[in-house]
């Protein structure tokens, strides 16, 4: 497999948001340019760019695209365009708080602007800061996470929590890569992650890119793998963490946490503080995205269930804090009971 250089995952160049089209991996590595707000929305909604921190960064740069699209207008008209773009981008995916968090940061810049021309630099500066902070939070949280890994450990992961899901540094899979970078031998078991296969397509691809041994399994095999005693720990990311430590993450995470507890295997969550939403007291308050039925009952354009059949397709579920042995952020390794409070 030819090695590619995927960093950073989301960039801004020549008036466009530039992303790796993750729907094409692992067959094709292609950078696409998103030069309109409509294209940014489509890319986030269809998971061309995905992963909580990555969609926050793409959304922030999407506001810059909106400004460039509306450049010639008066300050009042510009603000109306940016408000509309914020609403449209924010509506693409409701669960990952990083998206609304990034859009709120951009909003506080354009709402306080006193003239249109200075807005381009100010918004570019804020979006660049969101990307830079994400890279530095990844560096810190992955190195804290690596302290929980020993050489010869096998780990089980869910979804994709590597560089592709962030600005480039990753969350849970990033911690595994950090431990490997420190000289430890780690074997990754990657849950394939139905229905969109982020584990099989993206986690396995990132591991292969780095020469980290990886074994893909269907989610149904996770129970017997955990019961076999071969897995030292389970590692997942988060799309939103409530104040009490409940975690919304890719559907299937809850089942994995239950299985890990039953098998006595530690269950770790790695996420930046931009994924913590202190305004939600518990996971019951987190909005869960439901996606089109076709993702479940068709594959590669081929029907995998009778035509017209109903499907249940939540993109995320909520794992209660009591099943989580540690939540790792850029600030360190948090142990239960969790009480996340607003910082700054």
Mask for 54-93, x = binds ligand MRU (CB under 6 A):
----------------------------------------
Q: Which of residues 178-237 bind ligand MRU (CB under 6 A)?
A: 198, 237
First to last CA, the chain: 45
Q: Active-site residue 310, yes or no?
A: no
Nearest Cα residue to 141 out of 47, 273, 253, 9: 273
Crossing angle of helices 116-146/97-111, nearest 10°? 150
| Cβ nearer to ligand MRU, comparing 142 with 171 | 171
Shortest Å, Cβ 135 to ligand MRU:
13
* 138 touches ligand MRU by CB under 6 A: no
CB hemisphere CA count around 319 (13 angstroms) = 31
CA distances from residue 84 to 36, 66, 70, 90, 167 in whole angstroms, order as listed? 13, 9, 11, 10, 25
Mask for 92-131, x = binds ligand MRU (CB under 6 A):
----x-----------------------------------
Number of residues that bind ligand MRU (CB under 6 A): 18
* 53 touches ligand MRU by CB under 6 A: yes
- Indicate which residue of 14, 21, 84, 239 is catalytic: 239
CA angle 236, 316, 129 (to 5 degrees): 65
* 51 touches ligand MRU by CB under 6 A: yes
* 161 touches ligand MRU by CB under 6 A: yes
Q: Can you give the C-alpha Rg of the chain in angstroms?
A: 20
Exactly one of 146, 241, 315, 321 binds ligand MRU (CB under 6 A); which one? 315
Residue 321: count other Cβ atoms within 10 Å of its Cβ.
21
| Cβ nearer to ligand MRU, comparing 20 with 47 | 47
Crossing angle of helices 75-90/97-111, nearest 10°? 180
CB hemisphere CA count around 338 (13 angstroms) = 29
Taken in order 284, 285, 291, 293, is the CA torsion positive or negative? Answer: positive
Shortest Å, Cβ 171 to ligand MRU:
4
Which residue of the chain is nearest ligand MRU when measured via CB? 237
Exactly one of 52, 103, 176, 326 binds ligand MRU (CB under 6 A); which one? 52
Rounded-to-integer distance, Cα 342 and Cα 44, Å? 27
Shortest Å, Cβ 124 to ligand MRU:
24
Rounded-to-integer distance, Cα 227 and Cα 89, Å? 42
Q: Which of residues 250-289 bind ligand MRU (CB under 6 A)?
A: 250
Catalytic residues: 239
Binding site for ligand MRU (CB under 6 A): 47, 50-53, 96, 159, 161, 165-166, 171, 198, 237-239, 249-250, 315
């Amino acid at each position: 497999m030819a090695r590619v250089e995927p960093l950073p995952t989301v960039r801004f160049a020549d008036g466009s948001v530039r992303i790796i089209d993750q729907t094409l991996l692992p067959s094709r590595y292609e950078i696409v340019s998103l030069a309109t707000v409509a294209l940014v929305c489509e890319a986030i909604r269809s998971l061309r760019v995905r992963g909580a921190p990555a969609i926050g960064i793409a959304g922030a740069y999407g506001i810059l695209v909106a400004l460039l699209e509306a450049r010639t207008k008066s300050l009042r008209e510009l603000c109306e365009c940016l408000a509309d773009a914020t609403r449209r981008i924010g509506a693409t995916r409701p669960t990952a708080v990083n998206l609304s968090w990034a859009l709120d940061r951009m909003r506080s810049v354009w709402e306080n602007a006193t003239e249109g021309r200075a807005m381009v630099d100010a918004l570019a500066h804020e979006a660049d800061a969101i990307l830079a902070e994400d890279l530095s939070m990844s560096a810190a949280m992955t190195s804290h996470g690596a302290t929980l890994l020993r050489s010869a450990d096998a780990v089980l992961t869910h979804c994709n929590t590597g560089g592709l899901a962030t600005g480039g540094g990753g969350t849970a899979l990033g911690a595994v890569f950090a431990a490997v970078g420190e000289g430890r031998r780690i074997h990754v078991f990657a849950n394939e992650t139905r229905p969109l296969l982020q584990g099989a397509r993206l986690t396995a691809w990132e591991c292969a890119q780095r020469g980290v041994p990886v074994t893909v399994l269907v989610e149904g095999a996770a129970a017997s793998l955990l019961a076999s005693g071969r897995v030292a720990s389970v590692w997942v990311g988060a799309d939103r963490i409530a104040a009490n430590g409940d975690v919304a993450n890719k559907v299937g995470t809850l089942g994995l946490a239950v299985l890990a507890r039953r098998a006595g295997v530690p269950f770790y969550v790695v996420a930046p503080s931009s994924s913590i939403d202190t305004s939600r007291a518990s996971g019951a308050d987190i909005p869960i995205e439901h996606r089109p039925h076709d993702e479940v009952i068709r594959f590669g354009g081929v029907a995998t269930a009778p035509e017209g059949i109903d499907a249940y397709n939540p993109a995320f579920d909520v794992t209660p804090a009591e099943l989580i042995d540690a939540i790792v952020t850029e600030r360190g390794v948090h142990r239960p009971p969790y009480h996340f409070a607003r910082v700054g």
